Chains A and B, each alone.
Chain A
Amino acid sequence: MLKNNLKFAVFGLTVIFTLISIYLALIYTPSHETMGDVQRIFYFHVASAWISYLAFGITFVASLLYLKSKEYRWDTIAFSSAEIGIIFCTLGIITGALWAKSVWGVFWIWEDFKLFVTLVLWLVFIAYLALRANAKSRTSKANLSAVFSIIGFVCIPISLGANRIWQQFHPTVIVSSGGSLQASMAFALVFAVLAFTFLYISLLLIRVDTEKMKEKLEKIKQKLGGLNV
């Protein structure tokens, strides 16, 4: 009972925060001095990117816990988080590209390490999900994807390091993102991140519940199947 109440509270807050955040981003904050209204996508871009990092962090921690305890519920959390994470990551990249076009005139720029790391993360998510799709049994699916998510997690900061090495020895001129953040904009940004965090948690709760129901259904099916023979 308490669990259900808590869940509804989270869902409720998610809706409220998201609505407020949209208001803040689109209406409340002033237009950017140089970029104009296009800059508003920045709030959701940054929030999406942050949440995708959070999601992968959760996947990483859940994978570690799974390998230690061998309890499937950790594996369920790990991959549910990855499924949601890749959505936010995709959103982050698309919004980032749209923003980049307006600021730098190009959709993509390799030197910007934030874009770079988000792309690597996106590829790791895809590889992780492809791995799960091709696993041969429930245990191997859980074991192998847990190991891979740990490897992937370790490779994210390493790829950041690799990018920095490349930058250091092949310096290019990076156009700065331009302008400092006004107080109202900072507030809108923080709120966007908050709203997206709640959105992530809501989606995660729903996804994990769906998976649990699926497993229950499978067990019942198997019992029935045994009786029919």
Chain B
Amino acid sequence: MSERVLEARNIYKSFGCLEVLNGVNLTLNRGDRYILFGSNGAGKTTLVKILSTILPADSGDLTLFGKEIKRGSKDIKAGIGFMSHEPFLYNELSAWENLNFYCNLYSVKDKKKRIESLLKEVGLYYRSHDRVGSFSRGMKQRLSLARAIIHSPDVIFLDEPYAGLDIRAQDILNNLILRLNQKGKTFFFITHDIGKGFDIANRSGILSKGRIVYEVEGAEKKTFPDKYRDILKGETV
């Protein structure tokens, strides 16, 4: 049976008086490619930030790799990768220097080889020593992907990863996901766009009114788009 990589129970999060997450429950098994949908403002970004330990939840349990997440659990962060529409890159540094910096933070071994191979994989090797400030958005996102996986994390969280990507970059992303997934990496992504990424997912869910209200696996995917529309209609009532 698949090993449980992540378990979230009764996650609550409010911002002031606004309740964003109202008891989210989620499990991720090794090798999952889970895609979470939800309308804008449903709380997807908040949830993915909580799951990747950037943001603390107000209450609830979060277990990653079998260890419970408490404030300041640094070691678990080494196994987490996160890619968002913010590239987390320093404009004044070159592509190489950016990746080198993150290698130092994550204590990556054989830095030079790893940076080189990743830059080649995302197709940015020829721009290694150019300042990131001069990159286009698509290039920044590709570099951000390299940054997200440079420390070989076991779970990778993606927040609207296709936003701003050209077709070439989307293909690079999809290929990378599938290749890493075959090696046993787990993926969790969020998006509001039901068109992209749906095909590569093996599990899907919908976040609505602060809870995951619907989940499908594998072949049941066909019913998904209609169910999604129904739920979205339900939200405006």
Which parts of A124-147 form the interface with B (CB within 8 Å)? 137-138
How far in angstroms is the closest Cβ of chain A from B130?
36
Interface size on A, residues (CB 8 A): 6
Across the interface, which residues of A come within 8 angstroms of B16, CB to CB? Answer: 137-138
Asked if A73 CB lies within 8 Å of chain B CBs, one says no
A219, CB-defined interface residue at 8 Å: yes
Central interface residue in A137, A218, A221, A222, by most chain B CB within 10 Å:
A222
Chain B residue, CB-CB nearest to A218:
B17
Chain B residues contacting A137 (CB-CB under 8 Å) are 15-16
Whole-angstrom distance from the CB of A20 to the nearest CB of chain B? 45
Question: Who on chain A is nearest to B15 by CB?
Answer: A137
- Bound-state Cα–Cα, A219 to B15, Å: 13
Q: How far is the CA of A14 from the CA of B18 in the complex (A)?
A: 40
**Which residues on A sit within 8 Å (CB–CB) of B15?**
137
Give the nearest-CB partner of A138 in chain B.
B16
Contacts of A222 in B (CB 8 A): 17-18
B residues less than 8 Å from A218 (CB atoms) = 17
Name A's interface SS: helix
Residues of B within 8 A of A221 (CB): 17
**CB proximity of A224 to chain B, nearest CB, Å:** 11
Interface bits B13-30 vs A (CB < 8 Å: 1, else 0): 001111000000000000
Task: Report the minimal beta-carbon distance from A143 to chain B, rounded to whole angstroms.
Answer: 11
Within A198-229, the residues touching B (CB, 8 Å) are 218-219, 221-222
* Complex Cα gap A186–B191 (Å): 73
Which chain B residue has the least Cβ–Cβ distance from A215? B17
> How far apart are the CA atoms of A137 and B15 in the complex, in Å?
7
Q: Contacts of A219 on B, CB cut-off 8 Å? A: 17
Q: Which residues of the partner chain B approach A138 to less than 8 Å between Cβ atoms? A: 16
Q: How far is the CA of A137 from the CA of B55 in the complex (A)?
A: 14
Q: Mark A33-74, 1 if CB is under 8 A from B, else 0.
A: 000000000000000000000000000000000000000000
Which residue of chain A lies nearest to B14 when distances are taken between CB atoms in the complex?
A: A138
Task: Please report the C-alpha to C-alpha distance between residue A219 and residue B17 in the assembled complex, in whole angstroms.
Answer: 7
Return chain A residues, CB-CB under 8 Å to B18. 222
Within 1-58 of B, Cβ neighbours of A (below 8 Å) are at 15-18
A210 to chain B, nearest CB (A): 18
Cα separation A219 to B16 with both chains bound (whole Å): 10
- Across the two chains, which residue of chain B brings its CB closest to A219? B17
Residues of A within 8 A of B17 (CB): 218-219, 221-222
Q: How far is the CB of B189 from chain A (nearest CB, A)?
A: 27
A-B contact pairs, 6 of them (CB 8 A): A137-B15, A137-B16, A138-B16, A219-B17, A222-B17, A222-B18
